[in-house]
Amino acid sequence: MTIKDTVRKYTKDLKNVTHIPAKEVEILMLHLLNKNTIWLHLNYTQEFTMEKELEKLVKKRATNYPLEYIINKATFYGETFIVRDGVLIPRPETEILVENAYEILKDIKNPKILEIGIGSGIISVMLATMLPNLKVIAVDINEKAIELASDNAKKFEVDEAIEFRLSDTFKNVSEDDFDMVISNPPYIADDYKLPENVKYEPTNALFGGKVGDELLKKIIDSTNKKKIPYLLCEMGYDQKKPLEEYFKNFDVEMYSFYKDYENFDRGFTLKFKY
């Protein structure tokens, strides 16, 4: 059976789990063949010799198991990052958080930041590639995340700029000489019903408490206590008003919120007044 016929055959199996079933079948085939998209389309009429292996992967994906965990990679900021089961999958909207941080840090000489909840390391790694003089301490409570983020840092050759630590927020961070804290923390309410595909991701990277913003508020408190000027975070689409109210508890120089690619409120930049 040709590549073209194979794509057509297995597309129907993924129609209920993705809006791009044919594309995902192609991605799985490329993963097996270790080829790129151009090669695939130039060889569409050639025989496909790995149908048994493909069928196994398609069946796994059909259970809503994330594609990124199957192929062990995800694209972020135009780059390909290593992804593994047990660590949060990178989201495109986090690119906006990186861009906002870069716009501040590029004007600071030898900036130093703390990232809380590093996941696969996309934020710290991208910022380190964009800012050669950046120093980062990156923490997470998940040992798998520390290991994966370290591998991504080595892949992009910025491992000397980033120190990874196992820590619950600021617990193992004694330093206070940071210019910025940046975080994409868990911010979903504990009773929220997750979509089927998200259920395979680690719950401690998703759920932020009974209301959902508890961890965000804890990060705000700790950042202020350490007198760190800037705090940039992602947040839930419905958390703008309660967080804006919470900011009133602090001496704040400025704050702003931003929307994601779907026009939902998604994060904020906060600068404390010291």
Tens of pLDDT, residue by residue over 235-264, are 988 899 999 999 999 999 999 999 999 999
Indicate whether 106 pLDDT > 60.
yes
Range of the domain at 27: 3-63
- Asked if 51 and 179 sit in the same domain, the reply is no
- Asked if 96 and 59 sit in the same domain, the reply is no
Indicate whether 108 pLDDT > 60.
yes
- Asked if 50 and 185 sit in the same domain, the reply is no
How far CA 172 is from CA of 23, 45, 112, in Å, comes to 44, 57, 17
Identify whether the C-beta of residue 138 lies closer than 8 Å to the C-beta of residue 164: yes
Domain count within the chain: 2
Listed residue (72, 42, 38, 18) closest to 10, CA to CA: 18
**Residue 175 and residue 189: Cα distance in Å, rounded?**
31
User: Cβ-count burial of 149 within 10 angstroms (0-12 exposed, 13-18 middle, 19+ buried)?
Assistant: buried
Give every CB contact of residue 82 below 8 A, 6+ residues apart in sequence. 72, 73, 120, 148, 151, 152, 155
Whichever domain contains 147, its CATH number is 3.40.50.150
What is the predicted pLDDT for the residue at 208?
A: 64
- Asked if 47 and 154 sit in the same domain, the reply is no
Stretch 115-133: mean pLDDT: 96
